[in-house]
Amino acid sequence: MMGFLLFGCGRAPHDTPYTYRVPADAADDRQWTVNVDDDSVVSYAVQDAQDGGTDVVFTGIKKGSTNATVYLARAGASVQDADDVYVLTLRVDGHRNVTEPEPYGAYVVRLNGDVAGSEWSVDCSDERIVRWKEDRDYPKKSSEEDGMQDFTQIYTFTGRRPGAAHVRICVSYPWAEDAQSVREDFWLLVDSEYRVSLLEPTDFESFVISEQGTSAIHDVFEAERTADGVRLSHFDATYSWSYETDDFEETRENETVLEGGAALYKYLAGVVHKCGIPDWDGFHGTNSHVLDGKMFSFKAKLSDGTSVSASGSNAFPEHYREFCSDLYAVMRANAQQNGNE
């Protein structure tokens, strides 16, 4: 395979670069692409690694920090349509050393251990959503007696694509056959900005959110809980008066339907939680200074029987844009997955 280089700017590399190894070569119709928020802080080069895979080498230009997004996608595709995404927080010191001291938007789990030789593992329901790295920290002073030695087992989870993943951290012991215990069991939520957090759901039965601009067409998301999970649909809607029913009738076009199981329901319940949907109830906002904008309406029924209703014209409740962005993200991820199968 021929090597290739992509440079973020014309500066020459320095002696203290930061090399980030992505785990796979670019496919025939896909390539690794790099976006840097501030290319005056770092430059970059993408090149084949000697032992396989691909290296992204960042070199410092001036002191500061910036985020860099490395993603695998078809030529010209955006990060939202990527197959694999890595978001890095890079820092450059006064000597132009480049480091990534903390992964962007990571969720860190620290567990106490005390048995030398214990074997730890991660069981993840969907490795396309999160990845992780494992570290072990020993105290500076410790005494080991009968195979016991205190340490901290550290797992750092970072996001690869928006969604929810079920994670179990297990530990086993080489002298005890088939003896494995689950130390942690939890769900992680990756939002549309690839930030990872512990998923705390707000269970719902249904919700519908509708946006309308200057045309008569409404952009609608509709979710309904099912016996197996959830049914999420996205469509364009128009409404006309029916004299037969004495009410408005809905006509749907360009509808995409996603029938998801427990994982998708858990993801949407996590989005409902983090966006504070129960707090939207009673919101009715208007911004009269905007002449051409958007109107929205929202209705939800939560599992505890609570109803939520909100509406607005060019004014929106807190986290409204984030909620819509996450709904679009899960639709894009589903379309991408079906296209790759």
CATH number for 237: 3.30.1560
Query: Which domain does 318 fall in, by range?
Result: 204-340
Chain segment 23-66, per-residue pLDDT in tens: 665 666 788 889 999 989 999 999 887 777 788 999 999 999 99
Last-in-domain residue among 141, 176, 198? 198
DSSP states along 246-271: TEEEEEEEEEEEEEE-HHHHHHHHHH
Nearest CA to 152 among 140, 168, 165, 160? 140
- Identify whether residues 130 and 152 lie together within a single domain: yes
User: What per-residue confidence (pLDDT) applies to 74?
Assistant: 84
Q: Is 13 inside any structural domain? A: no
- 43 within a domain of the structure (yes/no): yes
Q: Please check whether residues 126 and 163 belong to one and the same domain.
A: yes
Is 138 found in the same domain as 85?
no
Do 136 and 235 reside in the same domain of the chain? no
| Pairwise CA distance, residues 248 & 242, whole Å | 6
pLDDT, tens digit (0-9, with 9 covering 90-100), for 246-285: 777 888 899 999 999 988 899 999 999 989 999 999 999 8
Beta bridge partners of 134: 155
Assigned domain for 8 exists: no
Phi/psi for 277 (5° steps) reads -55, -40
Say yes or no: 38 and 166 in one domain.
no
For tokens 């197959």, the residue is 83
Q: What is the mean pLDDT of the chain?
A: 84
What's the total number of domains in the chain? 3
Q: Are 211 and 235 in contact (CB under 8 A)?
A: no
Question: Final residue of a domain: which of 99, 133, 162?
Answer: 99
Same domain, 229 and 161: no
- Asked, for residue 135, whether it belongs to a domain, the answer is yes
pLDDT confidence band for 141 (50 / 70 / 90): low
Do 248 and 334 belong to one domain? yes
pLDDT at 226 over 90: yes
172 in the same domain as 142: yes
- Residue 40 inside a domain? The answer is yes
In a domain, 3, yes or no: no
| pLDDT computed for residue 341 by the predictor | 41
Look at the chain and count its residues.
341
Examine the domain organization and report whether 59 and 23 are in the same domain.
yes
Task: Assess if residue 90 is contained within a domain.
Answer: yes
Strand order in the sheet with 295-302: 247-260, 230-242, 218-225, 204-212, 295-302, 307-313, 283-286
Residue 340: enclosing H or E segment and its boundaries? helix 320-340
Residue 9 lies in a domain: no
What angle in degrees, to the nearest 10, is found between the helix axes of 320-340 and 262-274?
160
99, 124, 144 - which closes a domain: 99
Q: Which residues pair with 131 in a beta bridge?
A: 158
Residue 219 has phi, psi (to 5 degrees) of -95, 115
CATH of the domain at 123: 2.60.40
The answer on 244 and 321 residing in a single domain is yes
